[in-house]
Structure 1
Amino acid sequence: MSEANILDRSSGAIMGAFIGDALALGPHWYYNLHDLRRDYGEWIDTYTDPKPDRYHPGLKSGQLSQSGFILTLMVRSLVDRSGYDSDDFCRRLDEELFPQLDGTPVSGPGGYTSQSIRDVWRQRVQQKLPWGQTGSHADTTEAIERTLAIAVRYALHPNQLATTITQNTLLTQLDETVVSMTVAYGVVLSLLIQGHTLDTELSGKLMALVKNGQLPFHAVTRDNLQNPRPGDPDPPRAGRFASPDALLTPSYMAAAATDSQIRIEPAWKVSIVYGMPCAIYHQLPAAYYLAARFRNDFESAVLHAVNGGGQNQARAILTGALTGAQTGLSGIPRRFIDGLENAAALEKLATDLAAGIENS
Structure 2
Amino acid sequence: MSKHSMQDRAAGALMGAFIGDALGLGPHWYYNLDELHRDYGTWIDGYTEPLAGRYHEGMKAGELSQAGYILTMLVRSLVENGRYDEKDFCLRMDEELFPLVDGTPINGPGGYTSQSIREAWKCRVQQKLPWGQVAGKADTTEAIERTLALAVRYALHPDSLAKNICDNTLLTQNDDTVVALTVAYGAVLGALVQGHPLDGNISSVLMTQVRKGILPFHFVLGESLEPPQAGETESPRVGRFASPDALLTPGYVAAAANDPAISIEPAWKVSLVYGMPCAIYHVLPCAYYLAARFHDDFTSAVLHAVNGGGQNMARAMLTGALAGAQTGLSGIPQRFIDGLENGKELLELSKQLAEQSV
Q: TM-score range by the shorter chain?
A: over 0.9
Quote how far apart the aligned CAs of 1:237 are. 4.3
Seen in structure 2, the aligned counterparts of structure 1 residues 250 and 44 have a Cα distance that, compared at 3 Å, is: same
| 2:242 is the alignment partner of 1:250 | no
Corresponding residue for residue 121 of structure 2: 121
Corresponding residue for residue 28 of structure 2: 28
For the 8 Å contact 1:19–1:320, the answer to whether it is kept is yes
- Matched to 1:140, the amino acid is T
Corresponding residue for residue 138 of structure 1: 138
Q: Distance in 2 between the 1:310 and 1:329 partners?
A: 27
Q: Distance in 2 between the 1:116 and 1:349 partners?
A: 26
- Matched to 1:216, the amino acid is P
For the 8 Å contact 2:299–2:332, the answer to whether it is kept is yes
Corresponding residue for residue 191 of structure 2: 191
> How many percent of aligned residue pairs carry the same amino acid?
68
Q: Deviations over 1:314-360 (max 9, x none)?
A: 000000000000000000111111110111100000000010113xx
TM-score normalised by L of structure 1: 0.98
For the 8 Å contact 1:214–1:238, the answer to whether it is kept is no
Q: Deviations over 1:182-234 (max 9, x none)?
A: 00000000000011000011100100000001000011111121221222222
- Matched to 1:187, the amino acid is A
Corresponding residue for residue 57 of structure 1: 57
Aligned pairs (5 A) from 1:178-327? 178-327=178-327
What residue ranges of structure 1 are gaps of 5+ in the alignment? none
SS of the aligned residue for 1:30 comes to: coil
Aligned pairs (5 A) from 1:18-97? 18-97=18-97
Quote how far apart the aligned CAs of 1:3 are. 11
| 2:112 is the alignment partner of 1:112 | yes
Quote how far apart the aligned CAs of 1:260 are. 1.4
| 2:98 is the alignment partner of 1:98 | yes
- Matched to 1:342, the amino acid is N
Q: Distance in 2 between the 1:298 and 1:159 partners?
A: 28
For the 8 Å contact 2:2–2:326, the answer to whether it is kept is no
- Matched to 1:304, the amino acid is H
- Matched to 1:246, the amino acid is A
For the 8 Å contact 1:102–1:108, the answer to whether it is kept is yes
Q: Distance in 1 between the 2:94 and 2:132 partners?
A: 14
Q: Distance in 2 between the 1:193 and 1:351 partners?
A: 13
Q: Distance in 2 between the 1:145 and 1:349 partners?
A: 16
- Matched to 1:7, the amino acid is Q
Corresponding residue for residue 352 of structure 1: 352
Q: Deviations over 1:87-112 (max 9, x none)?
A: 00000010010000011000000110
For the 8 Å contact 2:203–2:248, the answer to whether it is kept is yes
Q: Distance in 2 between the 1:123 and 1:237 partners?
A: 36
